[in-house]
């Protein structure tokens, strides 16, 4: 189980992959990666296309990269990426980040200070690895618990805020 204010430690790649392999069928619900347009370019990475729907029903496409090196003890790393480069570079790729307002569940920061130096994109929610890497405070009942959660919790939380009333279009 993850712990607040503790620096996450990577898992062994074999254990992380085994956990992802075990949880992936539950997330796919009988469908295939291809059915959902998900991609798995390596054993520990998923690219998942997501759609943000604005109040006026305008739709914006995003690509979410999940990395599972710390999984399942910690949630997956989650970042929105440029769909062509499949990476995120601040400030060039800021338009590939959704603007989320009016919820305390998730915030999306284009650039956030990491303790000890450096900066990262932060999907600020207790279901993402980066939340713990920046040593964010969190209520005990919201701490990632690998006995009760898998990466579907990460996806569900992000998908919830890509809808009205929280989704406000792309960041600029």
pLDDT in tens, 139-153: 899 999 999 999 999
Q: How far apart are CA 70 and CA 78, in angstroms?
A: 12
Beta bridge partners of 167: 100
Q: Residue 125: which pLDDT band, with cuts at 50, 70 and 90?
A: very high
Question: What pLDDT is stored for residue 165 in this prediction?
Answer: 96
Q: Residue 117: which pLDDT band, with cuts at 50, 70 and 90?
A: confident
Question: What pLDDT is stored for residue 1 in this prediction?
Answer: 73
Question: What pLDDT is stored for residue 11 in this prediction?
Answer: 97
Question: What pLDDT is stored for residue 119 in this prediction?
Answer: 92
Q: How far apart are CA 96 and CA 84, in angstroms?
A: 11
Question: What pLDDT is stored for residue 6 in this prediction?
Answer: 87
Is residue 77's pLDDT more than 90?
yes
Domains and CATH numbers, the chain: 13-170 (3.10.110)
Q: Residue 116: which pLDDT band, with cuts at 50, 70 and 90?
A: confident
Q: Residue 75: which pLDDT band, with cuts at 50, 70 and 90?
A: very high
């Amino acid at each position: 189980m993850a712990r607040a204010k503790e620096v996450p430690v990577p898992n062994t790649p074999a254990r992380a992959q085994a956990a992802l392999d075990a949880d992936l069928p539950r997330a796919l619900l009988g469908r295939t990666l291809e059915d959902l347009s998900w991609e798995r370019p390596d054993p520990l990475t998923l690219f998942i296309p997501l759609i943000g729907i604005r109040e006026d029903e305008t739709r914006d496409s995003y690509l979410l990269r999940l990395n599972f090196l710390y999984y399942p003890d910690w949630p997956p790393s989650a970042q929105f990426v440029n769909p062509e480069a499949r990476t995120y570079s601040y400030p060039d790729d800021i338009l590939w980040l959704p603007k989320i307002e009016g919820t305390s569940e998730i915030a999306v920061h284009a650039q956030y200070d990491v303790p000890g130096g450096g900066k990262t994109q932060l999907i600020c929610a207790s279901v993402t690895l980066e939340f713990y890497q920046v040593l964010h405070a969190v209520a005990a009942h919201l701490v990632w618990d690998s006995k009760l959660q898998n990466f579907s919790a990460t996806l569900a939380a992000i998908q919830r805020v890509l809808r009205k009333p929280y989704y406000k279009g792309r960041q600029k």
